[in-house]
Homo-oligomer: A and B are copies of this chain.
Amino acid sequence: MLEAVRAELGERGFDALTVESVAARAGVHRATVYRRWRDVGGLLADVFEAAGDDDWRPPDTGSLLGDLAALNRESQDSLTAQPPVVAALFAASFRSEEAAWGVRRLWEDRYARCEAIVGRAVRRGELPPDTDARRLLIAATAPVYHQLVLLRVPPDPDLPERAARTAVLAAGAGAFTSAPSATTRETSG
């Protein structure tokens, strides 16, 4: 059933998504869908929940830059995949409260798993122990989503690694440690 929701979303978009269209694609009676899900919002919430209920782990390439670049490549690939299921889920999250809640939980889960990248880099001595993992991860990944989801520019094959490298350089300059470095204080003065 959730596969039918994803397929409908990817091929025909949110506007065509109804309990009826999902039931038809899944080959079940619409009453069966209504029994379990009240409406399209409920279906979407379960699609997001199912998306988070997997054994996905962030890439482990042996270096911070390699991990972040591989993570960004994964994101760019899923955002540009055809049919555009992930893009359609983003669009849906602007339409339905349940979908908005689902997308928020899914992001939280993904970023929490990605903190392993920072943990490994700290153990390898690539980052100081007081690095704020979440801030580093947001800095490394935000440009890919910004360009593809908000700015809607065509995918740039160099962007995943470039955004990763920018975050690594910023980390090296002390951008993500709890106490601002001397350089930071000087710059902001």
Question: Once bound together, how far apart are the Cα atoms of A183 and B156, in whole Å?
Answer: 23
**Is the pair A188, B165 in contact by a Cβ cutoff of 8 Å?**
yes
Within the complex, what minimum Cβ distance (angstroms) separates A59 from chain B? 15
Would you call the interface of chain A mostly helix, strand, loop, or mixed? helix
Question: Once bound together, how far apart are the Cα atoms of A95 and B91, in whole Å?
Answer: 7
Question: Once bound together, how far apart are the Cα atoms of A75 and B163, in whole Å?
Answer: 21
By a CB distance below 8 angstroms, the chain B residues around A165 are: 175, 180, 184, 187-188
By a CB distance below 8 angstroms, the chain B residues around A103 are: 150, 152
**Is the pair B152, A142 in contact by a Cβ cutoff of 8 Å?**
no
Question: Once bound together, how far apart are the Cα atoms of A142 and B100, in whole Å?
Answer: 20
**Is the pair B90, A91 in contact by a Cβ cutoff of 8 Å?**
no
**Is the pair A65, B188 in contact by a Cβ cutoff of 8 Å?**
yes
